Structures are given as C-alpha cells and as structure tokens.
Amino acid sequence: MPTLNRSDAQQRADDIGVFNRELARLEAEQVLQLSEPQRASLHEHQQHLLHSYRAAFDIDHNSQARQLSLGMRIASFLGALALAASLFFLFYQFWGLFGEISQVAILLSASGSSLCLTLWVQRRDSSGYFSKLAALVAFTCFVLNIVMLGQIFNITPSDKALLPWAAYALLLAYACGARLLLAAGILCVLAFIAARVGTWSGIYWLGFGERPENFIPAALLIFAVPLLINQRRFEGFAMLYRVFGLLALFLPILVLANWGAGSYLDYPADPIESAYQLLGFVAAAAVIWLGVRREWPDVVNTGLTFFVIFLYTKLFDWWWESMPKYLFFLVLGLTAVAILLILRRLRSGHSLLGGTAQ
C-alpha cells in the first residue's frame, strides 16, 4: 500500500486481531483447521506486518494501549497549548531588556530553532505526540515573530500577516501530521480570504466579520481542497478540510438567516433572512446527499446537524410564542423522531441515494 497512513495501519492491525479471534472460534467449532506450516506462515506474516506498523506508526496493539493513546493525545494537546502560552508570556516578560536588533535576532532564531527542533523531534518520535507538541510551539514562535515585529516597529496592522501564518501552519501540519495546526492554517486562510473579499469592496480589513458573506467563497475553496489535492497520506486531513469548509459555509448562512441586516444585499432584512433560511435547508439537504453518495460520514453529520439547527430555529420562530411550552417541545421531539425514521429509511435503502450499499 504505497500511501499507507497511521489510520490504515491501525485498521489493518485491528483486522488481524479480529481475524485471529474468528479463526480460533472456527477451529474450536471444527469448521476450519490450519496445518502447522500454514499456521506458522500466517503467524510470521502477521508479526512482520504488526512489527513494521509499530515501528513506522506506533500503532496501538490492544484496547488498553488505545485508551492510553487517547490520554496521550489529550496530554499532548493541553501541553502544546500551555507551552505556547508560556512562550507568549516569556517573550513579553523579558521583552524590554533587549534592544531592537537583539529583539529581531531573538525572534528570528526562536522561529528557526523551533522549526529545526520540531523536525529533529519528528525524526525520533514515531508516535507523533512530541513532534506535534513541538510543531505547535514552533507555530506560536512564528506568530509571535510577526506580531512582535509589528509592535517593535509600530507597523500598521494588516490582514497580510494571515497569509504567512497560514502557510507556516500548513507546512508544519503536513510535516508532522498535526490536525490542530491544519485547523489553525485553515482558519488563517478563511480569515485572509474573507478579509480580502471585504477589502475589495473598500471596507477596513478588520470589518470582514461583520459581513458573513465574506466567508462563503473561502468556504467553498476549503471544501474543494481534498477534491483537488489528494490527502490520502494524511490521516483525518480531508475530513478537516470538509468540516471546516462546511462550518464556514453554514455558520454565515445561519447568522444571515437570523440577522438579514448583516448581508451585502441592499434589501429589507425580512426577505434576506427568508432567502438564507431557504438556502440553509437546501444546502444542508444537498450536503447530506453528497455525503451519503461519496461516503463521507463527516459531511453527512455536519449537514444533518445544520439541517436540524435550521429546522429548530424555524420552529422556534413560528411557535415559541404562540404554543404552550409542552406542545412546543412535543413538536420538537416528534420532529426528531421523524428525522430518525427518515435516516433509518435512508440507511436501509442506501443505494437509493447513489451510495454503495453495505
């Protein structure tokens, strides 16, 4: 498998465990009996595979190891955040002790050395926990580098800083397989494109958040990335692109469906809100359909979540004031039951939507 990643390796290791348990049952029930040479050959092949996966990806070889891995991921995440915050305050605490040239030299060397350290750790750390932690610290160093240069030399704040931050976060994310940094990079790209779209219409760049439509072109671009560039080698990256793309699409629609005054469209708020409510339902349904068809559970779940949010928001608008509360919540409950029934029907008749029946 030329593009094997950690997820694939873990899946294969799990499959080997399941296969061995089933083989033992079949032998106990005397349905299948392997000869000794066959058993030895099978065992040798499995051990070879597992050994190579453990060496390359530090996979979990049993359920206890898997639970510990989850704990390590959480510790790595919290540790990375704490180290980044520590670095941030360390800079500020001793900043005044240095002249401008020393400050620039410190910033540059901190960025460069943290990058080298990250790549050095990555070479030695097959688990990835420590290299991801180091990568987040390196990213913090680079963000501080640009922010502090701006402060030292009183540079006018600009959205252009988002672009190198995005590039650096993506570079580290791909180098270390760090999903947290991929998320940071995607957010920087989203903010940069939204700010650019805003400044084309003449507004001050920091005002981009006040027109939610600024995010929609960036959302479509982010969603399309895994379709245009294969992310097979990077575990969970394609899913992150799709989810962030959808969040950047649906959140502005949700905001505009309830706050028409925030739109670029120069019409009264009511028709704008109605149009975005309709768009929200249509887009959520289309996304569910696409997710089922392409077998993207993350897309199905995100689409479904927003479909339910749009539906509940609409029900709230219509009936919260006029209905007794018990009736209102009964309607919500019945709606949830209806959604469950529809989803069950979709699951059983999966091929109706064009997906592959399992």
CA angle 226, 277, 260 (to 5 degrees): 105
Sign, Cα dihedral of 63, 67, 68, 72:
positive
Which one of residues 1, 18, 28, 97 is an interface residue with other proteins (CB under 8 A)? 97
Contact between residue 214 and residue 197 where contact means Cβ atoms under 8 Å apart: yes
C-beta of 166 vs 288, nearer to other proteins: 166
Separation of alpha carbons 182 and 156, rounded Å: 27
Cα Dmax for the chain: 81
C-beta of 92 vs 316, nearer to other proteins: 92
Amino acid identity for residue 21 in this structure: R
Which one of residues 30, 64, 154, 356 is an interface residue with other proteins (CB under 8 A)? 154
Which one of residues 99, 124, 270, 357 is an interface residue with other proteins (CB under 8 A)? 99
Span 101-130, contacts to other proteins by CB under 8 A: 104, 107-108, 111-112, 115-116, 119, 122-123
Which one of residues 53, 130, 168, 296 is an interface residue with other proteins (CB under 8 A)? 168
C-beta of 90 vs 278, nearer to other proteins: 90
Smallest separation (angstroms) from other proteins to the CB of 202: 6
The two three-digit tokens of residue 206, written as one number: 């920091």
Q: Is 297 in the site for other proteins (CB under 8 A)?
A: no
Q: Is 167 in the site for other proteins (CB under 8 A)?
A: yes
CA distance to 166, 171, 207, 215, 216, per residue, from 211 (Å) = 22, 30, 8, 8, 10
Instruction: Give me the residues that bind other proteins (CB under 8 A), please.
Output: 89, 92-100, 104, 107-108, 111-112, 115-116, 119, 122-123, 138, 142, 145-146, 149-157, 164, 167-168, 171-172, 174-175, 198, 202-204, 206-207, 210-211, 261, 266
